[in-house]
Amino acid sequence: MSTILNINNISKHFKDFSLNNISFTLDRGYVMGFIGSNGSGKTTTIKLIMNLLSADSGSIEVFGLDHKKNEKSIKDRIGFIYDECYFFEHLSIMDNANILGPLYSQWDKEVFLNYVKRFELNPKQKLKKLSKGMKTKFQIAFALSHNAEFLIMDEPTAGLDPVFRREFLDIIYDVMQDDHRSVFFSSHITSDLDRIADFVTFIDKGKIIFSQSMEVVKESYIILKGNNEILKSINKDHLIGLRQSSVGFEALTTDKNYYSNKFGDSIVLEKPNLEDLMFYSK
C-alpha cells in the first residue's frame, strides 16, 4: 500500500496562531476527512500541502516526493478544489478548460465534456455567473478530466444546500470506485464525513487531536452520562471535556470498560458521532 500524503512534524507560526508539530499520513485509495472548528488550522494545513505557504519546520511528501522539490510534477497529479476559485472568472467553462486543461499532461477534453454533461453545466456560461455549487461541480469535472490521482478540497460543501451536498458525496463515492485515487477534504459538516470518510483527522487550535480510521475513532470513544453523586466517586483523569450541570454530568472517555465495570447500570454509555467528538474535545 503506498502513502499518498505524509505530513511530518510540520509547524507554522503566525502572529496569533500556530500549527504545532502536526503529523499524519493518508494511503492511496482512501478518503480522509479533515475536521476542526473555525480557525483551527485546516486551510493553513491545506495551503502548506499545496506549497501556497511555507512551513517553519517539518516536511511534506505527496506521492512519496518532497512537495517543494517536485511541485510541478505533483500538481500535475492533484485536483485542487478551493474556495477562492483560481480559474478565470470572466471566461466561460469551456474557455477555461481549453486554456488551462492542456497545462496538465493527462488532460482529456472528451472526459471533461462528459462530466460537464453529467453535472448539467452549460459550457458557454461564464464562471462569474455560476452558483457556488455549480462552481464546485466545474472544479471537480476539471480535476477528474486530468486524471487527478489525489483530490484535495478545502470546505467543498460549505454553503451548499443539502441536495447538492448529497450529490457531491455521490460524486466522491463514484470517484473512489477507481481505487488508485485518494481524497483529502476539510469540512466542519461532520455528517458529510460520517457518510464517506475512511479516515478522519481532527485538528483543534493548531494541534492534531487524532488521525485515525473512522472505525477506530467510533470504537475508541464513548460518552458517559450520570448523576452528580457518581461523578464524585469517578476518577476524572480519564474524562475528556467534562460538562456538569445541576442534574448530572456528561463526558467523553476512551476507558469504556473501566467505567462500565465499576458503575454498571448507574451510568449511561452512548456512542458518539463526529460532532460529539468535536464538541467534547474542545
Ligand X SMILES: Nc1ncnc2c1ncn2[C@@H]1O[C@H](COP(=O)(O)OP(=O)(O)OP(=O)(O)O)[C@@H](O)[C@H]1O
Tell me which residues touch ligand X (CB under 6 A): 14-15, 17, 36, 38-44, 188
Minimum CB distance to ligand X, residue 1 (Å)? 29
Question: Rounded to whole angstroms, how far apart are CA atoms 215 and 117?
Answer: 36
Minimum CB distance to ligand X, residue 38 (Å)? 3
Look up residue 65 and give its three cell numbers.
516526493
14 vs 258, which CB is nearer to ligand X?
A: 14
Minimum CB distance to ligand X, residue 22 (Å)? 11
Residue 219: C-alpha distances to residues 47, 74, 210 (Å): 32, 35, 13
38 vs 246, which CB is nearer to ligand X?
A: 38
Minimum CB distance to ligand X, residue 209 (Å)? 13
- Say if CB 150 and CB 181 are below 8 A apart: yes
44 vs 211, which CB is nearer to ligand X?
A: 44
9 vs 254, which CB is nearer to ligand X?
A: 9
Look up residue 33 and give its three cell numbers.
476527512
Residues 6+ apart with CB under 8 A from 111: 144, 145, 147
181 vs 188, which CB is nearer to ligand X?
A: 188
Minimum CB distance to ligand X, residue 45 (Å)? 7
Angle (CA) 134-131-177 rounded to 5° is 20
| 171 phi/psi in degrees, rounded to 5 | -60, -45
41 vs 272, which CB is nearer to ligand X?
A: 41
- Say if CB 168 and CB 160 are below 8 A apart: yes
- Say if CB 184 and CB 32 are below 8 A apart: yes
Minimum CB distance to ligand X, residue 143 (Å)? 20
Minimum CB distance to ligand X, residue 60 (Å)? 15
**Cell match 452558483: residue?**
131
Element (H, E) at 249: strand 248-253
CA atoms within 13 A on the CB side of 208: 18
Look up residue 137 and give its three cell numbers.
461541480
CA atoms within 13 A on the CB side of 55: 25
36 vs 79, which CB is nearer to ligand X?
A: 36
54 vs 261, which CB is nearer to ligand X?
A: 54
Minimum CB distance to ligand X, residue 255 (Å)? 29
- Say if CB 240 and CB 278 are below 8 A apart: no
